Structure 1
Amino acid sequence: MPHQPATHDGRLAAAMPASATSFPTSCTLRRTALAAALLSGLAQAAAPGPLVYDRLADVANHLATPPADARPMMRWWWFGPAVEKKQLAYEIGRMKEGGIGGVEIQTVYPMALDDPSRGVKNLPYLSPEYLDALRFANETARDAGLRVDLTLGSGWPFGGPHIGITDSIGKMRVVPVEIPAGAATYPLPTVTEGEKIEAAFLGDGNAKSYDATRLKPLQSKEVQNGRGGVTPAREARVAVYYIASHSGMQVKRPAVGGEGYVLDHMSRRAIDNHLKNVGEPLLKAFGDKPPYSIFSDSLEGYGSDWTADFLAEFQRRRGYDLRPYLPLVFSGKGDNAPALRHDWAQTQTELVEDNYLKPVTAWAKQHGTQFRSQTYGEPPVSLSSFRHQALFEGEGAQYRQFSFTRLASSAAHLYGRSVVSAETWTWLRSPAHTASPLDMKAEADRMFVQGVTQIIGHGWPYTPPNAPEPGYQLYAAAVFNHHQPWYMVMPEVSGYLARVSFLLRQGQPANQVAVFLPNDDVYAENRPGKTTLSGEMTNFVKPELIQQIMDAGHNLDYVDPEAVLEVGLARYPVLVMPNVRRLAPEVIAKLDAYEKAGGRIIAIGGTPSLAPGYRNADRITADVRRAAAKLFARGRNVQTVASEAELGAALQSALPGDIRVSDGQARVSFVRRKLADADIYFIANTSNQPVNASLTFRQPRANTVRIDPDDGRATQSDAAPALQLAPYESVVYVLSDAPLPGARPAVRSAPAAVLADLSSGWQLTFPGQKPATLAKLQSWTDNEATRYFSGQAVYRKQVTVKAPELAGRRVSLDFGTGTALPEASTHAHHTGMRAMYEPALRDVAIVTVNGQRAGALWHPPYRLDVTPYLKAGANDIEVKVGNLGVNTLAGRALPDFTLLNALYGKRFELQDTKNIAPQPAGLLGPVTLVGESVQ
């Protein structure tokens, strides 16, 4: 979930070309509305927002304690909803203890039957009792300093009992009817509720085989008893009917009382219906404290490809009647089918923008809140569609291939938002209760390098007090709440996430490479029942393309035709155009001006050669070929390569990488933000192997400082530092003109030497048990008595340190290096992942030395500097270890939802339950005390 957009100083407006509000008539109404939409977006951004600075000194003031609005948020699932106020308040308090900055309330399916004896009552969605609980949660969370967002519906996508069939997802139904030879009548197709015959055609063939390109309009009328009349012919024929129908898709995972059809995102009537019947009651419950934002999940309107007034809107927007061409559009046959499908799919994008995104954004503003949306999926919406809403959100950790996350962050960079959020940890390390903070970091870092500046955890399941541990779970997500034994280090996890989020909001985005999204080509590839830009973009923007750019030492943004026309390309020294064939001449004109101004263009697999759509295609195609030939013939700043495999070398020739790593470049990812007097580089080892290499910056500055993102401490560094990162470790480097205030001098140290092996003799105490002395360290699961234990246990040991061992040394407790796992062993699902690494500390620890808290460990390297806490002589070491919630889950039978499903229908199925098994836990060893001589 993003925070408030951060363009408060007119930077975007100043960056817009003077011609940004002038568009050729061939682009029709869509582009003529862009300037007004941008101004609307900037008006939204004028509300108070997050702290964004352009000077390093201001940024440095917040390194130790990042602002609250940078903290991670949690999607708070209310199951049923069966919630009660006392437990709501309790969970809000636990969130605050964990450093969580806010919640997005998401009401979903029931998990339990009503049972007064257990205090369980499912409150029907939008009932007075539910709305009262919503009001209470909002007031309590706000009083605790938490942000509160609200999903504007139950389950997903938007819909429910208020959506009748006529307002539900529109889908064209194609019905061929056979007409026997010599027949004068034939049975008309059945037209049911909410349906309308848009057109009918006649041709040779039968219901299973006919040539759509040879169909002719059918003039038929009902003659009697549901039969149509036709002039008899000697041959059998087929009448093909195009019936505006509906997909019938139901809201997924709805709450009790939230069941019903998914609404039509292309219908203004359906949207107004939803805002009136769902939005108004929800916002009324918030009273004079509206939610920070209202939220929509990704568009998942499966089957959507039509709406009631589509033909009229198409005529108005495209300038010709689509009805005669329906057979070509819905069969894909004929030379003109791709161009016609382009226009058909593009019109859907415009209808979603005009009838959904813009009205909901305006409605939110009128109600004192903002619209936050994951704007991708079905029906098709584009990168530039994001500009019609206030807050941008993505999802997906696929940082080395096309991703929805980078789609949202690129839109944020283009349209002047410093805050872009991402739904994070969806599907993380299935089954549920198996994800650790290390897994969380591994995915969060992949979000950060894609430009995310606000983490939205997916998520926090509300759990009633009488539920067995480890509490509730969503059917398809990990759990990040206080029921996890490792939650004791959540303040440290939240601090890391908040610090990086804050740093990556500062200044301006600084990616040097733009990748042109071939929207027009993708539109032409769309097909009935699945119209999408984001879902088909991987056929054009291939993983190898992204990998070639990143391995060349660059990061990247996407741009699309609308953004090129509206915002321009001036911030990007290099533009990569992958497999672009269809392109409007006015976009090529912008590319021509970009190249003349010094921009470099690398085209993959050829250059533009076709008009985007159908109308005046021959003339426009000639213009496209002529303009493209002229542009790419100059050879000065333009280049064409045959495939993605050649991109890296071409890119290095055009612009050397922003950073270079002497070894392991593919394991290191980064993102840069540019201040007026500094550059901020977040660098992450996104692999399970250590990195030991030299790091070179293409644009060094006078001062280089290394910042530890775990605590914000800054240390002076060499201009070309040695980059030493443990698996999944990250670091921040700041390159500045003036020294960073408060940065500590660099400390040189010799290689670490083992002072003592501490792998035996620990006393281990489990809750309610007597201490046991361990001859050696081993997993708790090796002992039958603790195999299914999920919780926290304490290791204690007295360690003698001699005075000479402390003199001139940095002394650390080292808990081992762990083991990298082969990638083939992953069982990640969908867009999810896990850290492919088995630590020797499972899974988190808080270390106390001589009664003083020395620190927490939750990700590699599992080494803690304890020098300030040690003394010569005997030292008491205490290590409190927390493991995973899945171990308890593995020790008992899974819940039986038979009766629940009998009442409500099967609304969910817990994923991967066959993989539930106890995971290693505790200190696995070796544990050593190590010392490094420093100077």
Structure 2
Amino acid sequence: MFKKTLLACYVTALTLHLSAQTKWPAFTQQSKPWTRWWWMGSAVDEKNISTSLQQYSQAGFGGVEIVPIYGAKGFEHRYIKYLSPQWMKMLDYTVQQSNARNMGVYISVGTGWPIGGSHVTVQDAASKLLVQQYDLKAGAALAQPLVINDPKQKEAASLSALMGFNSNGEAIDLTGKVDAGGNLQYNAASDLKLYAVFTGKTKQAVKRAAPGGEGFTIDHFSKAATVNYFTIFDTAFGNSSHGVKAFFNDSYEVYNADWTPDFFTEFQKRRGYDLRKYINLFLSDSNDATARLKSDYRETLADLMRENFSTVFTQWTNKRKTLSVNQAHGSPGNLLDLYAAFDIPETETFGSSYFPIRGLRRDSADIRDVDPDPNMLKFASSAAHAYGKPLTSCETFTWLTEHFKTSWSQCKPEVDQVFLSGINHVFYHGTTYSPADAKWPGWLFYASVNFVPNNSLWPHLKGLNDYITRCQSVLQSGEPDNEILIYWPVYDAWHNAKGMDMPLKVHDVDHWLHPTRFYKNVVALQNAGYSLDFASDKMLEQAHAQNGGLRVAAKGAQHQLLLVPACDKMPVATLRNILRLANEGTTVIFEQFPHDVPGFNDPEKGRQELKALIAGIQLSAGNNQLQTAVAGKGKIVAGDVNAALKYLGIAPESIAAGGLKFIRRKKPDGTYYFIVNNTANDVDETVVLRNTASTLLRMDPLNGQINSLPHHQQNNATAVRLQLRSGESVILKLSNIKETAIPYRYMQTAGEPINLHDNGWVLQFTEGGPQRPATKKMTTIQPWTAFTDDSTTQSYSGSGVYTTTFTLKNKAADYILQLEKLYESSRVIINGKDAGLIWSLPFELNVGAYLKEGKNTISIEVRNLMANRIRDLDRKGEVWRNYHEINFVNINYKNFDAAKWKVQPSGLEGAVKLIPLK
């Protein structure tokens, strides 16, 4: 006994010593997950703010992002007007209380979304193009005045231009011939088709606005509108940020805003010709000339949005020594450039992805009919990587499942996919402020996973939060390590005669992204094991060669090569920049050379310049797949992408061949690999990683353990045995310095498992409602919802503790507790000691350290979904959702009603095993 005790003390001391040598990167505010914090009606008070922040801090959140929205009915007397002195007092108190808990605060620049408010004038409101056509007969006066016909636009619309076109299509500018009353003072020599171009207003109001935040959406293309918008913040905030770490702007979602009052002037300045002279062609939708005009128009909108909204926004925040955060997706512009104009580019997930993970619950009735594309997320992370922005954020879990049916195990693969896309600053969508006196389930937002203290799963949320914190501590370290920079040919998307502004929406990727060679290359390269970022024309203009590769910005990530996918349209300036990079020393792969130039202004001249540049590349005869050329200090390879990469000796990561996904971060002392197995198969094999290592560490983000792994060098790469179950993830650190850690013990069974399924269990209900069921005794383990003769089990949401006692003989080196079916998460207590949480797949936990020879007691505290209790409320007809504006809707934006839901299984089911390990 004395020897065992002495040995235990030695192992403990050794563990402490080694853990001091090898640690996770520092856990900070930013490495922890944050949450969108809706202030309903801004009906907040100091006591509830303090209590809420304490709960969030204890659960492992690093900060909150305040977005005021519409309020709950019956609480109008508590509403606080947005940006009023009282509202600012509550904000200051929130910042103070957050700082005391080492948390941070972001706020939305407005209430609800999109950006706008009560002080936005009609002049500064979002604008739209309105055109009326007239026939003017030769020698006759126009019978009616040129005023807008739409009665809704009478007070808002103004005439921007009047153009006449004769039978030959020649344009005559008649704008100056219209008097103050709208009468045309002109006699035509020949019949004319008149186009009266008006600047109208969309009159779109802020959606989900809070008190004091109602009003028009702003004109994103007008610098004056953006500057004027921030005047109310200047008044409220002065020159200070009031401790707010960043100001946030939600996704664009501005509809039919396709114009701005001085568009014609801005267009001519940027594109070099007068669009008014071609307004007849512009308004067509069926020919190449129209597509070229529309391309120029869309490029101009992109310029205006970046210069007049994005840049002005960031300058305003930086003036207050704080940061700007923006969701650029959905905007009518080059997403890469719009994301890049902000300090923290933010993207979003929407809906549920399919993962073939064994045991992962995914009911088609509880998910939206939308298939999220992780490559949509890479537009934000690529912009951050290119310009050396340390953080890329993501609004995460939006409409992941139907309300009250989301488990933390469903969140993990979704957030893993976010990490794999280059995101490293996760925001939950989200958490609703709710006062203590609001009846259960409290105040809730209509479109979120409810990460709220009233959620029956809340006590186990720290498992997910700690997991994300460990992952993000690594993913915020060092630099991204992606070898390929791939050009995104936005002009191919813009060259479309149909439509107007073409906002590049998350939900429209089937139209503007998926059909392209760019996208097909991205997916194929990722599946092959390559890592990549996207580049815009502007990025290539700013890029410089370095070490055979290139960097967009001095602090940005370095890439080994530039890939130009097959595309039809490319500006001459972009091709010149690509060839400049090659001459400076960059390796460039052309899948195909571009065929044409975009735009309407003398395209033939541009075509000849493009052809001359291509002809100047001295390509070798090559073979059927490749041609090569030396270009100054660099190299150009043309042809099949895979063959080109092989020719250049750029090898993929072979772990992708088995379906594993990964992302790398590099530091001076080594390289981190974040590896995810979201396949249906377990992995136990030797893998080869494309980096060398003096020490290879296995870092488990689920439990925080760090162990060394045996490995060997193999042709400037590292071979290591990898065990990874379906649904698991791991971080491998390939360190180029000697680091010490306890050696990892690969899982190897040592005999038959101990099946506790029929061991006899007691089930006690400890915390929840609406009523706690009576204690149950079972010979065989089963869900508590299987006790249909007890109606309280059908409506109960909370915790149920399954307890059994068993005798262990000849204790093995370690044990895994394995739960076949868990609804939904659990905390395991063995012999009175907390052995940890089981919240993600596979539902397993190493528990050998807590077991002993002889009698053992194991308790499994299971927490279920909120769904059954919500179902009970609706079956009883109780009013619990009672809000202004949209109130509360289901996943299909219909009125929410859980009364007809089936009872969701709750508790444990199937085998409960202890698997002995060698």
TM-score range, shorter chain: 0.7 to 0.9
Cα distance in 2, alignment partners of residues 793 and 83 from structure 1: 33
Secondary structure of the 1:425 match is: strand
Shifted more, 748-757 versus 763-772: the winner is 748-757
> In the alignment, which residue of structure 2 is the partner of 1:111?
72
Whether contact under 8 Å (1:883, 1:921) holds in the other structure is: yes
Q: Aligned pair 1:811/2:815, yes or no?
A: yes
Amino acid of the residue matched to residue 722 of structure 1? Answer: R
Amino acid of the residue matched to residue 867 of structure 2? Answer: V
- How many residues align? The count is 827
Distance 1:362 1:181, change over 3 A: closer
Cα distance in 2, alignment partners of residues 64 and 868 from structure 1: 26
Cα distance in 2, alignment partners of residues 101 and 778 from structure 1: 38
> In the alignment, which residue of structure 2 is the partner of 1:920?
905
Whether contact under 8 Å (2:82, 2:212) holds in the other structure is: yes
Cα distance in 2, alignment partners of residues 844 and 485 from structure 1: 10
Distance 1:408 1:867, change over 3 A: same
Q: 2:529 aligns with which of 542, 546, 553?
A: 553
What per-residue deviation string (whole Å, max 9, x for no partner) do you get for residues 51-103 of structure 1? xxxxxx99976518623331010000111222232222111110001010000
> In the alignment, which residue of structure 1 is the partner of 2:253?
300
> In the alignment, which residue of structure 2 is the partner of 1:540?
516
Q: Aligned pair 1:497/2:504, yes or no?
A: no
Whether contact under 8 Å (1:548, 1:647) holds in the other structure is: no
Equivalent runs, 1:477-626 vs 2, <5 Å? 477-525=448-496, 528-532=499-503, 536-540=512-516, 543-568=519-544, 570=550, 571-595=558-582, 599-604=586-591, 606-626=592-612
Secondary structure of the 1:396 match is: strand
> In the alignment, which residue of structure 1 is the partner of 2:390?
418
Equivalent runs, 1:360-399 vs 2, <5 Å? 360-396=313-349
Q: 1:842 aligns with which of 814, 817, 823?
A: 823
> In the alignment, which residue of structure 1 is the partner of 2:367?
none
> In the alignment, which residue of structure 2 is the partner of 1:40?
none
Secondary structure of the 2:229 match is: helix
Cα distance in 1, alignment partners of residues 851 and 58 from structure 2: 29
Cα distance in 2, alignment partners of residues 335 and 890 from structure 1: 57
Q: Aligned pair 1:759/2:757, yes or no?
A: yes
Whether contact under 8 Å (1:59, 1:506) holds in the other structure is: no
Cα distance in 1, alignment partners of residues 644 and 855 from structure 2: 62
Whether contact under 8 Å (1:682, 1:733) holds in the other structure is: yes
Q: Which runs of 5+ in 2 are unaligned?
A: 1-17, 149-153, 354-370, 551-557, 621-626, 629-634, 712-718, 767-771
Whether contact under 8 Å (2:710, 2:720) holds in the other structure is: yes
> In the alignment, which residue of structure 2 is the partner of 1:794?
801
Q: How far is the alpha carbon of 1:594 from its aligned partner?
A: 4.0
Q: How far is the alpha carbon of 1:524 from its aligned partner?
A: 3.0
> In the alignment, which residue of structure 1 is the partner of 2:655?
661
Cα distance in 1, alignment partners of residues 861 and 36 from structure 2: 29
Distance 1:905 1:550, change over 3 A: closer
Secondary structure of the 1:467 match is: coil
Whether contact under 8 Å (1:446, 1:686) holds in the other structure is: no
Secondary structure of the 2:458 match is: helix
> In the alignment, which residue of structure 1 is the partner of 2:303?
350
Distance 1:688 1:94, change over 3 A: farther
Distance 1:482 1:185, change over 3 A: same
Q: How far is the alpha carbon of 1:627 from its aligned partner?
A: 1.4
Q: 1:865 aligns with which of 846, 868, 871?
A: 846
Amino acid of the residue matched to residue 422 of structure 1? Answer: C
Q: How far is the alpha carbon of 1:437 from its aligned partner?
A: 1.1
Q: Aligned pair 1:729/2:728, yes or no?
A: yes
Q: Aligned pair 1:911/2:887, yes or no?
A: no
Secondary structure of the 1:138 match is: helix
Secondary structure of the 1:300 match is: coil
Shifted more, 67-76 versus 573-582: the winner is 573-582
Amino acid of the residue matched to residue 912 of structure 2? Answer: V
Cα distance in 2, alignment partners of residues 88 and 313 from structure 1: 47
Distance 1:225 1:755, change over 3 A: closer
> In the alignment, which residue of structure 2 is the partner of 1:54?
none
> In the alignment, which residue of structure 1 is the partner of 2:227?
272
Equivalent runs, 1:178-217 vs 2, <5 Å? 178=135, 184-191=141-148, 192-203=154-165, 217=173
Q: Aligned pair 1:242/2:197, yes or no?
A: yes
Whether contact under 8 Å (2:377, 2:418) holds in the other structure is: yes
> In the alignment, which residue of structure 2 is the partner of 1:283?
237
Shifted more, 286-295 versus 165-174: the winner is 286-295
Whether contact under 8 Å (1:759, 1:927) holds in the other structure is: yes
> In the alignment, which residue of structure 1 is the partner of 2:277?
324
Whether contact under 8 Å (1:523, 1:533) holds in the other structure is: no
Q: How far is the alpha carbon of 1:731 from its aligned partner?
A: 0.6
Shifted more, 268-277 versus 181-190: the winner is 181-190
What per-residue deviation string (whole Å, max 9, x for no partner) do you get for residues 566-618 of structure 1? 134523234333342332334323322444566554444x4213234333432
Amino acid of the residue matched to residue 329 of structure 1? Answer: F
Distance 1:401 1:546, change over 3 A: farther
Shifted more, 559-568 versus 93-102: the winner is 559-568
Per chain length, whose mean CA-contact separation is higher, i.e. which structure has more relative contact order (CA < 8 Å, sep 6+)?
Answer: 1
Cα distance in 1, alignment partners of residues 204 and 567 from structure 2: 34
Q: How far is the alpha carbon of 1:121 from its aligned partner?
A: 2.5
Secondary structure of the 2:525 match is: helix
> In the alignment, which residue of structure 2 is the partner of 1:877?
858
Q: 1:139 aligns with which of 96, 99, 106?
A: 96
Whether contact under 8 Å (2:334, 2:490) holds in the other structure is: no
Whether contact under 8 Å (2:699, 2:730) holds in the other structure is: yes
Whether contact under 8 Å (1:63, 1:713) holds in the other structure is: no
Cα distance in 2, alignment partners of residues 60 and 479 from structure 1: 39
Distance 1:699 1:526, change over 3 A: farther
Amino acid of the residue matched to residue 633 of structure 1? Answer: L
Cα distance in 2, alignment partners of residues 93 and 373 from structure 1: 28
Cα distance in 2, alignment partners of residues 229 and 588 from structure 1: 49
Q: How far is the alpha carbon of 1:557 from its aligned partner?
A: 0.5
Shifted more, 852-861 versus 343-352: the winner is 343-352
Distance 1:905 1:183, change over 3 A: farther
TM-score for the superposition, normalised by structure 1: 0.82
Amino acid of the residue matched to residue 610 of structure 2? Answer: V
Distance 1:406 1:132, change over 3 A: same
Shifted more, 688-697 versus 361-370: the winner is 688-697
Cα distance in 2, alignment partners of residues 482 and 690 from structure 1: 35
Amino acid of the residue matched to residue 717 of structure 1? Answer: L
Amino acid of the residue matched to residue 796 of structure 2? Answer: F
Q: Which runs of 5+ in 1 are unaligned?
A: 1-56, 206-210, 817-839
Amino acid of the residue matched to residue 354 of structure 1? Answer: E
Cα distance in 2, alignment partners of residues 416 and 775 from structure 1: 60
Q: How far is the alpha carbon of 1:559 from its aligned partner?
A: 0.7
Q: How far is the alpha carbon of 1:256 from its aligned partner?
A: 2.4
Q: How far is the alpha carbon of 1:907 from its aligned partner?
A: 6.6
TM-score for the superposition, normalised by structure 2: 0.83
Amino acid of the residue matched to residue 891 of structure 2? Answer: Q
Shifted more, 69-78 versus 358-367: the winner is 358-367
Cα distance in 2, alignment partners of residues 627 and 508 from structure 1: 35
Cα distance in 2, alignment partners of residues 616 and 71 from structure 1: 53
Q: How far is the alpha carbon of 1:370 from its aligned partner?
A: 1.6
Amino acid of the residue matched to residue 693 of structure 2? Answer: R
- Cα RMSD of the aligned pairs, angstroms, is 3.2
